[in-house]
Amino acid sequence: MSTARPSEFRQRFLKRELLLGSFIKTPTTHSIEILGGMGFDFVVIDEEHAPFDRVTIDNGLLAARAVGTAGIVRVAEPTPAKLLAVLDDGAAGVLVPHVSSVEKAKAIVSACRYRGGSRGFSNSPRAGGYGTLGMWQHVEAQDKSVTVIAMIEDPEALDVIDEIVAIDGLDGFFVGRGDLSVAMGAQSQGAPEIQSATEKIAKAAAAAGKPVCVMIGSIAETPPFRTMGVTSFIVASDQSLMRQAAGKVLTDFREMAAG
């Protein structure tokens, strides 16, 4: 199990500690319990590309808390209602797709912050301890602990990346190499133009003193990103990790049977 409390995730992320997470694609609690119990620093519940709804997200965040890992939610869309829902349910942070402009970035920050923002107040959900925390205790705790990560995955975002990374309250950035590859017509996520885009985002974030996260298929892919200054890694997903493990078992079994 992770030795750090989920509420400490934002500070660890901002300090650019080396952090490991994985996407959760299966709308049950079990894979979150397994990965968190093994010591993963965070999990990303994927509402954008997996069949999660408000109830399954709520259950997933409860599972993350139970095993002491930070539950981040990749929201399906960056509306104030979506962001408020997952934060009230106790998300340690949000991963927000397609932050392609300064205006979008500012709107996201505003929806996630009380002070200086426009987050709707309630201390009655899980985030407020079901009313245990007083109004200003809850405001202080949430503004201190909620992590807001923007996904940079559109070519137009690269044109204003220096302005986006400078926005106060935006904690860090995820390089969406898959969407960038499709949008730019690149042959693969390792294509030179995607490498260049990743380096540009990492350089801008470093200049602003903010961390960068990327998704990788395996730990073997980390060295070039570490050189760029990337400190948080989302390795595959619960489903792909299961496929990898199942594939190895199947290969080993067939080799045994053939021998």
Q: How many CB atoms lie within 10 A of CB 176?
A: 26
- Residue reference for tokens 């892919």: 221
Q: Is 49 a catalytic residue?
A: yes
User: What is each CA distance from 86 to 24, 92, 173, in whole angstroms?
Assistant: 15, 9, 19
Q: How far apart are CA 36 and CA 67, in angstroms?
A: 5
| Amino acid letter, 155 | P
Contact 166, 172 (CB under 8 A): no
Structure tokens at 18: 């080396």
- Residue reference for tokens 């909620």: 146
Q: How far apart are CA 259 and CA 252, in angstroms?
A: 11
Which of these, 199, 145, 142, 136, lies nearest to 171 by C-alpha position? 145
Contact 130, 75 (CB under 8 A): no
Question: Cα–Cα–Cα angle for 92, 150, 88, nearest 5°?
Answer: 30
Q: Which residues contact 175 (CB under 8 A, 6 or more apart)?
A: 152, 153, 197, 198, 201, 202, 212, 213, 214
Q: Which residue in the list 30, 49, 98, 138 is annotated as catalytic?
A: 49
**Max Cα separation, the chain?**
68
Which sequence positions are flagged as catalytic?
A: 49
